[in-house]
Structure 1
Amino acid sequence: MISTRSTRLGAILTCAALALSACGASNSGGEDNDNAQGSGDKDWSNCTPGEGSKDTAEVTDDDKDVSFVMFNGWDESYATTYLIKNVLEEDGYTVETQELDAGPAYTGLTKGDVDFVTDTWLPLTHASYLEQFGDKMVDHGCWYDNAKLTIAVNEDSPAKTIGDLKDMGDEYNNTLYGIEAGAGLTKTTKEAAIPDYELDELDYKISSTPAMLAQLQKSTDADENVAVTLWRPHWAYDAFPVRDLEDPKGAMGEAERIFSFSGKDAAEEHPYVSQLLQNLVLDDDHLASLENLMFSDDNYGGDNHEKAVAEWLEDNPDFVDQWKKGKLAES
């Protein structure tokens, strides 16, 4: 079960550093962030999804033409953008979308070439963009608070913590399946998790995201134990019976938040859209199920985002009403 987006993500994950003029960051948390700086004086880690929510019933936009930019290969970019696109088009908006790498996306946002982006990871992954462009952008809050690197196993396997793999390696064929060599996830696993938890006896197979997902499917279908490097958000958590190993030493790093931003003019021209973004909250279950429907080959395989989102909303009939009323944070 390998999505076309995950295949493209595999190529993007080979970018080793976050660079304004290069190919942009990966949503595997896959960047080498040794040079990442703080993003201004604000503590971006101190954000509760849905903070600042309110009922949109009394908020209107005179201008119903709006645009969103999505980061190439980042599944949650497409999921959130097409989710709000569905709602806005039902409200009579014309919604334009485009796909760009992170550097051009933020440049376009601040120049007014595009209105909104829903996929800014803070306080680390996109910190350098906030330092360069932050004074020209408006923060519309975080909608997800569990973006992180993980080591995952099938849910009925014996290991509970990453450290358990040291003594339980035989249960997992003494193998840890990884992704691309250039991914930050791979570097973190090699340079932090493996030495911190003394996992040197494991065969750490570094290959590709599609290969890792194929192995995850093969093993879980066969009811065999498997350990893989993974990250949240990812549709694999909905597609396969997997769970994260606890990381008491914090070797894989802390969770990040995902924020929505706009240019200053867009925020003034679209208070309704801005408030919808402020109201948005997606937990792991909702986000994984939406991405699974959109991207896995067992579902739409990345080919029809509009239809996939419409089907997901049919399966979650109260979501839009709660969203517009600003009640997602309460559920």
Structure 2
Amino acid sequence: MQKNITLNNGVVMPAIGLGVFQTPPDATTDAVQAALEIGYRHIDTAAAYANEREVGEGIRRAGVDRSEIFIETKVWISDFGYDQTLHAFDKSAGKLGVDQIDLFILHQALPGEFDKTIAAYLALEKLLADGRVRAIGVSNFMTDHLHALREQSAIVPAVNQIEVHPYFSQPDVRKTNAELGIVTQAWSPIGGITSYRGDSSKSTFTDPVILGIAGVHGKSAAQVMLRWQLQLGHSVIPKSVRRERIAENFDVFDFELTADQMAEIEALDTGVRGGPAPEAVTLEAFGREIPEA
């Protein structure tokens, strides 16, 4: 049975969602439809993924009532600024085919132009006050970004979506999230990003510790990592376009890791980030136009 997480404003969010990062538009609709048919009720996308329209189509094809589905999407840095971010909501909602977005978050901080980050977040607060979104949050915010945001805004983010997997567990940011009442949401929760480096011997999927724990429970490495995340209280958004993998990633509620197994996985942290360094994110390096339609 799906596990839910209650956010700091009382909104209930399914703990497991389907992520669609780097999922081609022509594969997104089928993946979303499959996930909803399997039992998922949380879909995570982003304006920068260029597949929001296909996410909306997958939701419609699945035939699940909109009230049962938790839709999350993100504002890209090119649309930061108060008015620009209000318009970014219109673009995303239009592509998704919805009037209300359940969780609307900032995709990155802009450390060198933090005033734009603040203005964008204040727009999220306006959207929340107007009922156009049910919860607001951030992504890839480090501890200093979170504290700076708190000093210049009224509402604590409900979620901070960050890279978290056994090889990069970010304990300091997770601690800050917990102290502020922010849910840690893990992207690349099973360490898929570790498989892109060309050295399979250093992939979480082939790690002997994880495989050993998987063997004890009769589960896959991916299922063990997802269970580890859930027992830490995290939200997870694993990605796949294969129906059998989507189903496997959802089948993690019938076993529990021991305290020793949790500690063994936590000890695998290498401190090596797979994604872009948050402090290096600039409009010059990462800016891209988000189309109107």
Larger fraction in helix: 2
Same fold (TM over 0.5): no
Larger-Rg structure? 1
TM-score by length of 1: 0.26
TM-score by length of 2: 0.28
Larger fraction in strand: 1
Q: RCO greater where, 1 or 2, for CA within 8 Å and sep 6 or more? A: 1
